[in-house]
Structure 1
Amino acid sequence: MVSPHTLRTTGAIRRTRVALALGATLALAAGLTACAPEPTDPAANISASTDTVTITDNHGEIAVPVNPQRVVALDNTAFDTLAAWDVDLVAAPKGVMGSAWPGYTDDDAVLDIGTHREPNLEMIVAAEPDLIIGGYRFSDQYAEIKKQNPDATVIEIAPRDGEDQFAELKRQTEILGQIFDHEDEAAALNTQLDDAIADAKSNYPTGETVMAVNTSAGQIGYIAPGIGRSLGSIFGALDLTPALEVKNASNDHQGDDISVEAIADSNPDWIFALDRDASFAPAEREAGSAPANELIRDAEALAQVPAVTKQQIVILDPNFYLTEGIQAYTALFTNISEAFAAA
């Protein structure tokens, strides 16, 4: 896109040439110059002709520029989509992106906002964005980001608490398609998710019980059906039968404390596991870290549960904890469907 500065410079050169030509033919043009229209400011034309689309984000209706040139993105659930559509970023929170998006994290031109725990919001201001896509990890900074960037459009379109996770991911994808002029691709992503859910649901051995866990630092945590981070939402989507339901369970990203004996007593036919450490480099993992499949299969108390004896353990993609977007869930449902079908 040609910048307003370039247009103003070009316009100035043209006006100079016109002035010289008029000077050379002043006698002939004298009667016409009185009727000549005032020159138009090219920057004003650009501003007036910029396309916008009205979307409903997590805060209400808002007009958003179509194909904005300077984009800051904070939402990990949107990075796969933005990368697939070759959307350039001027700043991103590289501290929470791991190695999942090297096109952004390895690019020195993309300013580093850091992590949601210690964000460097000045990097957003320095990037001079047209559009800022907030993220749920940065929701506490939403008001401050808006205050610091009055000339930018700030939106939040990450899945909202209390809403259906997959309807929310489809809503997010549809909005991104409208903003970046990829509506057909967005529709295809949504269809792929629906198809993957339908296939997994069709292949589910009805009545077989499922336990969802996450692992980190050598410990196994319980992920509650319906509310637990990452895997909780799949129970409702697939009408899975939980192996264990715990009262007052949380949606904590670390999962709830649970003993391997409690897992064994629930006797699950299937175990789905999110390895929280797998998305980080070995040097960045917590002490005692071990792969999820080892923790589960090597646990003596779990040796006789059907999920282990029948090898019915589904381990999520190593980067799932970082991504959590529509592509990640589509791949997860595809893997679950294939595991169900092979059982």
Structure 2
Amino acid sequence: MPTMFSRRPLGVLGAVSAAALVLASCAAPPEETSDDVDVVTVVDNHGEIEVPVNPRRLVALDNTTFQTLSDWDVDVAAVPKPLMHDLWPDLSDDPSVLDVGSHREPNLEAVIEADPDLVIGGYRFASVYEDLKDIQPRTVEINARDGEDQVAELRRQVEILGQIFDREDDAAAIVDELDTAITAAADAYNGTDTVVGLITSGGDISYAAPGSGRGVGLLFPTLDLVPGIEQAAEDSTHGDDISVEAIAQANPEWLVVLDRDATFDEEGYVPAAELIEGSEALANVPAVRKGQVIYLEPGFYLDEGIQAYTTLFDAVATAFADAE
């Protein structure tokens, strides 16, 4: 899965780190894991690390873990509320839950104030990993790693969460649901229909490359889909520029579309369906003419966890089966 955070200049990071260290020195030092606290050794993106089981005070920053934490009724001490919108009110609406803010301007003071015994960082917050480690050495990153099989990474993440929260059976059930959805989608695909992935935002349509395009990309290698357009990604996060004429020329049987703005519905928002199905240039494309356009769930852009992908594979399976 592509990295999706904005790196700040090193000078800014250094200033943030220095401020964090000053604040941390004023706060109580992290408690050592005591003999009466169960611990487990997990392998995160950086190697083996010993963490508490069912941490009493958790700071959760990786949005791809939020649905699992919500489903398991995990209490959190601090989260990035601007990134949560209204998707996980049980995690974010409590006024006692501190707000770490956006990954673009993280409020590390809130992390210190939360006094966590575990921090789940990474993904959008990967650029402040060292700062988080300075605050709490028991900081883990378990988001999908670049260069690894992305479906395997989804499984791996929830399995690690199962270890941390003593919910390994529940984690296995979540993995089974994903695998079942993938099998159903693969079985329903006829093996020949061409597919193009798209991303819409700000009234524009962009191309999502097979394998690496945001959200849509992993469908191609996982289901062995035939790409209607074979072009490497230049911007896997936001998509690459493409004209509707180029999409029409590809003449795909299917379109799979991530609407990045759907959750926010801000003033001037143009839904993906309006951009695609309302385009005269795309009217005769088989995907549009036959109604074979699959739209990801509105909250996908903010979620991107294993459950969101399970829902996507389920939707693809249903669409492919209905078209037979």
Deviation at 1:250, TM superposition (A): 2.4
Is the CA contact (8 Å cut-off) linking 2:117 and 2:136 kept in structure 1?
no
Deviations 1:124-147 (A, max 9, x none): 000000110012100010001111
Deviation at 1:255, TM superposition (A): 0.6
Larger Rg: 1 or 2?
A: 1
Partner of 1:310: 290
Deviations 1:277-302 (A, max 9, x none): 0011424xxx4x21111110010100
Partner of 2:204: 219
Q: Secondary structure at the match of 1:191?
A: helix
Matched, 1:196 2:203: no
Q: Specify every segment of 5 or more residues in structure 2 that has no aligned partner in the other structure, as ranges.
A: 1-30
Alpha-carbon distance in structure 1 between the residues aligned to 2:209 and 2:180: 25
Matching of residues 155-166 of structure 1 within 5 Å: 155-166=140-151
With over 3 angstroms needed to count, the CA separation of the structure-2 counterparts of 1:112 and 1:281, relative to structure 1, is farther
Query: Residue type matched to 1:326 in 2?
Result: I
Pick one of 171, 179, 188 that aligns with 2:164: 179
Deviation at 1:96, TM superposition (A): 1.0
Alpha-carbon distance in structure 2 between the residues aligned to 1:55 and 1:162: 21
Deviation at 1:251, TM superposition (A): 4.1
Alpha-carbon distance in structure 2 between the residues aligned to 1:105 and 1:126: 16
Q: Secondary structure at the match of 2:86?
A: coil
Is the CA contact (8 Å cut-off) linking 1:200 and 1:338 kept in structure 2?
yes
* Identity, % of aligned positions: 57
Partner of 1:205: 190
Partner of 1:122: 109
Query: Residue type matched to 1:314 in 2?
Result: I
TM (norm. structure 1) is: 0.83
Partner of 2:256: 272
Q: Secondary structure at the match of 1:78?
A: helix
Partner of 1:321: 301
Query: Residue type matched to 1:323 in 2?
Result: D
Partner of 1:89: 76
Alpha-carbon distance in structure 2 between the residues aligned to 1:270 and 1:189: 28
Alpha-carbon distance in structure 2 between the residues aligned to 1:145 and 1:281: 33
Partner of 2:271: 291
Query: Residue type matched to 1:196 in 2?
Result: A
Alpha-carbon distance in structure 1 between the residues aligned to 2:109 and 2:142: 22
Q: Secondary structure at the match of 2:147?
A: coil
Deviation at 1:58, TM superposition (A): 0.1
Deviation at 1:104, TM superposition (A): 1.9
Matched, 1:231 2:216: yes
Partner of 1:301: 281
Alpha-carbon distance in structure 1 between the residues aligned to 2:245 and 2:128: 41
Aligned CA-pair RMSD: 1.5
TM (norm. structure 2) is: 0.88
Deviations 1:286-331 (A, max 9, x none): x4x2111111001010000100110000000000000000000001
Is the CA contact (8 Å cut-off) linking 1:229 and 1:251 kept in structure 2?
no
Is the CA contact (8 Å cut-off) linking 1:71 and 1:130 kept in structure 2?
yes
Pick one of 246, 250, 266 that aligns with 1:262: 246
Pick one of 65, 68, 74 that aligns with 1:78: 65
Partner of 1:167: 152
Deviation at 1:206, TM superposition (A): 1.3
Alpha-carbon distance in structure 2 between the residues aligned to 1:70 and 1:129: 5
Partner of 2:87: 100
Aligned residues: 293
Deviation at 1:184, TM superposition (A): 0.6
Alpha-carbon distance in structure 2 between the residues aligned to 1:257 and 1:167: 29
Q: Specify every segment of 5 or more residues in structure 1 that has no aligned partner in the other structure, as ranges.
A: 1-43
Deviation at 1:121, TM superposition (A): 0.7
**Which is bigger in relative contact order (C-alpha 8 A, separation at least 6)?**
2
